[in-house]
């Protein structure tokens, strides 16, 4: 065996060993489908060990934003309107803007952010606003990569309110052209993985090792065997296989049904828990963003239906009202739900 192949095999072994030894308590999956006719669809599952209040928000252009980390907070005005899902109304977890850019944050226990001095010179932004900053400011993945790689500000994290859990996240971004990028902070340094082929992301290990694990499994036909546990590495492999195995079609109904089936396949059945395996966290909700047609779909596991928001029916103009759709009390909505939103004061991003 060549030395390079031996090193790759060793890397895969230790990555799998790490995932087995240190299972994550919070698990999610994100996958991007690219089909004929410029069809691009991004789906994600939100898996969490406890209930997580999720509400849907409409944010117009022209909103004044604050990174909420003190006097050195990054300040900006939203350039693009967006439809997003919040967690506890303190953070943006994912969403789509009016240009078809999608941002998703997922848990990554290996994350370590640069040191931030509230009294220093460096600007900062709360990790709860990271995805929203991207949606507010950029139309494409390339724009986001070109801006964020300059590291004009520091990502600042903190404990989730009322818990002893320190927020450790990585960010994925996809656009209407099918481009993709993953942003991770490892050992205090920003790692950017930018390539249209990076269509799948889960949790641990770091993205570079996820790619190595998936390369190993590509040598085994998916029709013969696929890893079936709820661990991040296994979900990554299943998502990678199925997103390329489903029908390649420009028919919206078929492509959406196929993508929903993939993200459901990578979800964790509701109510499953295990003291011996804290990595098993029930899927709480799923979102699917049609970036060609600008439609944002959403479903929670406690309601029997899927509803959606057609961004073309939303008023994103400056001075348009911020609106909120409650989804945290098991409300049931039917079909296109843009008319069910009600005006609301924007939530404040969790800061320090």
What's the first-to-final CA gap in the chain, in angstroms?
A: 52
Distance CA 164, CA 158 (A): 10
Integer Cα distance of 237 and 19 in angstroms: 14
Q: What share of the chain is helix, strand, coil (3-state, %, to 5)?
A: 25, 30, 45
Question: At a CB cut-off of 8 Å and minimum separation 6, what does 244 contact?
Answer: none
Residue 210's contacts (CB-CB under 8 Å, 6 or more residues apart) are: 15, 200, 201, 202, 232, 233, 236
Report CA 247 to chain centroid distance, whole Å.
24
**What SS3 class is residue 127?**
helix
The one catalytic residue in 28, 156, 237, 259 is: 28
Report d(CA 20, CA 185) in Å as an integer: 22
Element (H, E) at 240: helix 232-245
Whether the Cβ atoms of residue 305 and residue 297 lie closer than 8 Å to each other: no
Q: In angstroms, rounded to a whole number, what is the distance separating the alpha carbons of residues 169 and 265?
A: 23
Give the separation between CA 57 and CA 146, rounded to whole angstroms: 27
Q: Residues 49, 91, 178, CA angle at the centre, nearest 5°?
A: 90
Alpha helices in the chain (DSSP H): 3-21, 130-137, 141-148, 207-217, 232-245, 252-265
Which of these, 6, 32, 2, lies nearest to 244 by C-alpha position? 32
Tell me whether residue 28 is one of the annotated catalytic residues. Answer: yes
Which of 183, 200, 202 has the alpha carbon at shortest distance from 192? 183
Question: Rounded to whole angstroms, how far apart are CA atoms 16 and 242?
Answer: 21
Beta-bridged to residue 33, according to DSSP, are 41
CB atoms inside a 10 Å sphere around CB 177: 15
Residues tagged active-site: 28
């Amino acid at each position: 065996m060549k030395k390079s192949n031996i090193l790759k095999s060793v890397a895969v072994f230790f990555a799998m060993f790490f995932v087995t030894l240190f299972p994550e308590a919070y698990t999610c999956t994100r996958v991007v489908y690219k089909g004929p006719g410029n069809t691009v669809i991004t789906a994600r599952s939100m898996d969490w060990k406890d209930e997580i209040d999720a509400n849907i928000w409409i944010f117009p252009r022209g909103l004044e934003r604050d990174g909420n980390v003190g006097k050195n907070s990054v300040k900006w005005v939203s350039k693009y309107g967006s439809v997003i899902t919040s967690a506890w109304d303190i953070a943006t977890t994912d969403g789509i803007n009016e240009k078809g850019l999608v941002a998703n944050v997922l848990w990554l226990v290996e994350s370590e952010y640069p040191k931030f001095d509230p009294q220093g010179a460096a600007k900062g932004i709360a990790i709860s606003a990271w995805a929203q900053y991207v949606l507010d400011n950029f139309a494409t993945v390339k724009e986001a990569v070109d801006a964020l790689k300059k590291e004009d500000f520091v990502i600042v994290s903190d404990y989730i309110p009322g818990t002893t859990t320190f927020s450790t996240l990585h960010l994925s971004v996809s656009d209407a052209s099918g481009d993709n990028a993953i942003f991770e902070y490892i050992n205090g340094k920003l790692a950017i993985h930018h390539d249209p082929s990076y269509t799948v992301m889960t949790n641990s290990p770091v993205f570079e090792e996820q790619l190595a694990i998936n390369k190993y499994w590509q040598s085994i036909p998916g029709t013969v065997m696929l890893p079936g546990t709820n661990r991040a590495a296994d979900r990554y492999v299943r998502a990678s296989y199925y997103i390329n195995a489903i029908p390649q079609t420009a028919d919206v109904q078929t492509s959406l049904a196929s993508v929903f089936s993939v993200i459901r396949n990578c979800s964790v059945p509701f109510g499953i828990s295990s003291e011996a395996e804290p990595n098993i966290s029930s899927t709480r909700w799923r979102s699917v963003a049609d970036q060609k047609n600008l439609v944002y779909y959403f479903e929670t596991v406690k309601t029997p239906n899927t509803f959606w928001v057609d961004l073309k029916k939303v008023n994103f103009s400056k001075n348009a009202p911020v609106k909120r759709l409650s989804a945290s009390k098991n409300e049931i909505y039917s079909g296109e739900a843009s008319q069910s939103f009600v005006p609301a004061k924007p939530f404040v991003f969790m800061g320090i």
